[in-house]
Amino acid sequence: MFNIEGSMDQQILAAGKTRPAVIFPEALEPRIIEAACNLTRFARPIFLATEAEVREVIRRDLSAMDPTRVEFALSESAFVDIGKRPDLVEQFARIHQEEARTQGREVNLFDAMCWASVPVNFGISAVAQGHADTVVGGVATGEKQFFRPMLKALKAQEHCCEAGIFVLPDEHPKDVLNQNIVVFGDVGVNAVMTPESLAAAAVGTCAIARDLIPESILPEIHGAIVSYSNRGSDEGPSPDLVRKATELVPALLKERVSRGERYGTIHIQGEVKVNVALSQRSATYYQGGKDVNWPGSANVIICPNLDMGNLLYHLYATRFPDAKKFPVMFGLRFKGVDLAMDCTPEDIRLAVKASVLRMYKYGAWDETPRDTFFRRYRVLAINPGSTSTKISVYEGDKERFTQELQHAAEELLPFEGKNITSQFAFRKDAIMKFLSDNGLSVDSLDAVAGRGGTLWPMHHGTYNVNDLMAEDLMKGVQGDHASNLGGLIARELVAGSSRPAFIVDPVVVDEVPEVAKITGFKEIRRKVISHALNQIATARRYAEEQETFYERINVVVAHMGGGISVGAHFQGHYIDVNNALDGEGPFTPQRSGSLPVGQLIDLCFSGRYTKDELKKLNKGRGGLIDLLGTADLRALEARYKAGEAEVVLVMDAMAYQIAKWITSLMPAFQGQKIDQILLTGGMARCKPTVDYIRKAIAAMGCGVTVYPGENEMYALAKGALRVLSGKETAKVYTGKA
């Protein structure tokens, strides 16, 4: 049985787009709630009810649902108490009045507002006016209350149709339907059946099938416009209509192909007997004659009337209760999903996913027009480096633009030999100029998030840049580093306004218990300095993809870049990690990593190296640079694949050490199961290294997920967004403990 849901999931996630806002007017229907709680990776649910009301339904009728999934889904949803949104009710009411006037009717404002306060009318209007992308209904509301008003308000094309998708279980004879997939479509949504509407329904239904079913599963879509009569006969219901519709199909199909090459795999035949379309045996017996070229095995059955369409849909639904089935509308620009009253939560889930997938494939949707229910806060992220400053502007989860401002050597010359904070005004002015050149001002921002610096140790989270933090950043209390500028510039940009300045998960995040800091040398305690921003952001990303929270997962994250940090994340706490700044841990492209202590001591007193030379070998000139003469991973990967013995040995040694460090963190989880190993950073793009690590840690019994790159700008923005949206409270920096 073809896994159509898994296929749609894969295609939707591969698109990498923001999630559309889907509004549920029937918000207290248990089937709707159950379906919505399983949709948050693909859509943002809007319930037209209070959160308390939804929770009460879950408590009463859905107690068997996974509590973590429920909590995560509700945290990702919006709840609208219509009685507390008079602004929208009045907006929708006045539009309703105008529409009534165009029909020669007068509706007073009070009656119009009563109409707009009905959940289905509110939901349909919200989509029509761009506050949401898709309205889902029909489960608990009759055709006259939901389906017809939806068509009237949202109809974007002259001809609409509705298709029913079936993936039949394996007990259905496999030689009748290719992959046991069949799609039924009819013209029932059109008031008058015409050749034009039937032809549009045929092409539209086939287009739905092509959008949803990969070509690897159904290389070609064969559509059959069915008839009760024999081919060429004048018997049966309007055979002339079917013939005329068939003549119109090629032009419509040509226009459809112009929108996407995939539609070129669609073939539509007219005036086919229904038993021929659905039966290989009948197709065999009815073939013959000079005008008959129907090959049988239709994927798509287009019915010339509503009764036949309903009959076939319900016949298959009854005969195969285990079939995967769901409806899809064509002609509404993906703005509406109409469901049967006897649908299941799975039917609802599949129908919404089908709408989202077609929305993405069609290419016309980019984001919800208005951010009424899911506010798109605008955040400026700042990440200063030694010779550049990266800046990005995000609106919600979407990056509007990003730029790396390069600072030429001659520009930095006046600051040579001085603390990094001497560059504060120079860097700030460069950012202000760039914003101005791109038509942006600080007044248009909701917050600024800067890269956290070398402050005193702190717990993870998003912090307001307060006076004490600014003072410690200026001093560089734990070292002079370019990241110290991030919080300072962020604070200066919003000075005098009510907008917040944040830092997010700086390198000094320390939640490591003392037991992990003790060494065998009384004067030395392990310090914790790591790639905390990307470490925690990667763990959060994995948690979100599992539809749960950072606080409820156990993962090991290996950040693999110029430096390598391997961290243990235990139920929302960053409980152990190597000091990547000082070279502890595996050797890296630029760092020596942990070394045999006795040999290192002997080397220190051998007279062969100065202190500065040894420090450079430890960090900057060690690792792959010392062993192979380069830190260029792309060049080394090519040499590795070419079988160069020395490169293979050294690269495998580095991967071995990373794997060894990953496994060494197992005690940090206090005997609890590790959910996943996460590989991130630039080196996560190196296939030989990733493959070696996968194999080496296989005995740990958990999977490996790879997130190439660092995504630091997004991590900064996400930290600010969690606070702005109320999901997290900004923390207060208190300095040295």
Per-residue pLDDT tens over the stretch 360-386: 988 778 899 999 999 999 999 999 988
Distances (CA, A) of 8 to 161, 261, 435, 521: 21, 19, 40, 57
Q: How far apart are CA 103 and CA 195, in angstroms?
A: 27
What letter represents residue 147's amino acid?
A: F
What letter represents residue 409's amino acid?
A: A
Asked if the model's pLDDT at residue 532 lies above 70, the reply is yes
pLDDT recorded at residue 158? 67
* Cβ neighbourhood burial of 285 (10 Å; 0-12, 13-18, 19+): exposed
What are the structural domains of the chain? 4-154 (3.40.50.10950), 161-331 (3.40.50.10750), 378-512 (3.30.420.40), 532-709 (3.30.420.40)
Q: How far apart are CA 564 and CA 683, in angstroms?
A: 9
Output the CA torsion sign for 110, 112, 113, 119.
positive
Percent of all residues in the chain with a pLDDT value above 90, rounded to a whole number: 77
CA-closest candidate to residue 448, choices 467, 433, 431: 431
**398: how many CB neighbours lie within 10 A of its CB?**
13
Range with the lowest mean pLDDT among 42-46, 141-145, 543-547, 652-656?
A: 141-145
Per-residue HEC secondary structure of 221-285 comes to EEEEEEECCCCCCCCCCCHHHHHHHHHHHHHHHHHHHCCCHHHHHEEEEEEEEHHHHHCHHHHHH
Q: How far apart are CA 251 and CA 258, in angstroms?
A: 11
Instruction: Provide the pLDDT confidence category of residue 274 given band limits of 50, 70 and 90.
Output: confident
pLDDT recorded at residue 157? 64
Residues 310-353 pLDDT 10s: 888 888 888 899 999 999 998 888 999 999 999 999 999 999 99
pLDDT recorded at residue 293? 47
pLDDT recorded at residue 705? 98
pLDDT recorded at residue 235? 41
Mean pLDDT computed over 685-690:
96
Asked if the model's pLDDT at residue 553 lies above 80, the reply is yes
Asked if the model's pLDDT at residue 466 lies above 80, the reply is yes
Task: Enumerate the β-bridge partners of residue 553.
Answer: none
Mean pLDDT computed over 424-442:
91
CA-closest candidate to residue 537, choices 563, 491, 574, 575: 574
Asked if the model's pLDDT at residue 96 lies above 50, the reply is yes
Distances (CA, A) of 477 to 377, 449, 459: 33, 21, 17
Residues 177-224 pLDDT 10s: 888 999 999 876 766 778 898 999 999 999 999 999 999 999 999 998
Question: Is 127:368 a contact under the CB 8 Å cutoff?
Answer: no
Q: How far apart are CA 287 and CA 114, in angstroms?
A: 59
Question: Is 460:536 a contact under the CB 8 Å cutoff?
Answer: yes
Q: Between helices 67-75 and 51-61, what is the axis angle to 10°?
A: 160
Asked if the model's pLDDT at residue 572 lies above 70, the reply is yes
pTM of the model: 0.91
